[in-house]
Amino acid sequence: MRRRGLGTQVVRPAIHRDVRLSSLYDDLAASGRDPGTTLLAHESCTPATAGLSTLSELLPADEPLQMMRRLRRADGEPLAIMTNYLLARFELDDDALAGTSLYELLRLQGAQIAIAHQAIGARLADADEAHLLEQPRPLACVTAERVVYDAAGALVELGRHLYRSDLYTVQTSLVV
């Protein structure tokens, strides 16, 4: 693509994802992209200490959780910052988190992921987020908050994700 004053730039095609319960890691791999992950944080917390009012009706405020924050790349390029809160009973190895889909790791531990409620929005990245995504500010981003349940209706995870809007779109099908 050519832009006056900027010269020729190589632009990668956007990641297009259908709205379905799947992992970004698996979707990238299935579309021929090379998914990569940098684990930024993996620590213990509770709904109260993490400020998770979304979970206040589902869990006691002192329920042990684990929080992980990851930078997801597509073909080496930063695409998303993914923050997930899971029950402490799941044993998630940092090395496995860097090279496998989260949902695959949860299924291997017996989680029967069945349904999720997701809200999609948009906002500008803060300074830390723009730095991680290697983009100048202001940076428009797509947001997603997803609450995932198992087949029995028990909470599996809460995910808060931030995607670069220049590389990521959400696709839905509408029928009459």
Q: Mean of the pLDDT values across residues 49-76?
A: 92
Give the domain range for residue 143: 15-170
- 6 pLDDT exceeds 60? no
Torsion, Cα 100 102 108 109, to 10 degrees, reads 140
Q: What is the domain-level CATH number for residue 99?
A: 3.40.1410.10
The answer to whether residue 3 is domain-embedded is no
Structure tokens at 104: 């695959």
Confidence of residue 56 (pLDDT cuts 50, 70, 90): confident
Q: Please spell the DSSP secondary structure of 67-80, one letter per residue.
A: EEEEEEEETTEEEE
The answer to whether residue 2 is domain-embedded is no
Q: pLDDT tens across 75-126, in order?
A: 999 999 999 999 999 999 999 988 889 999 999 999 999 999 999 999 999 9
- 7 pLDDT exceeds 60? no
Confidence of residue 176 (pLDDT cuts 50, 70, 90): confident
Report the amino acid identity of residue 146. R
Q: What is the pLDDT of residue 22?
A: 79
Number of folded domains that form the chain: 1
SS3 label, residue 62: coil
The answer to whether residue 85 is domain-embedded is yes
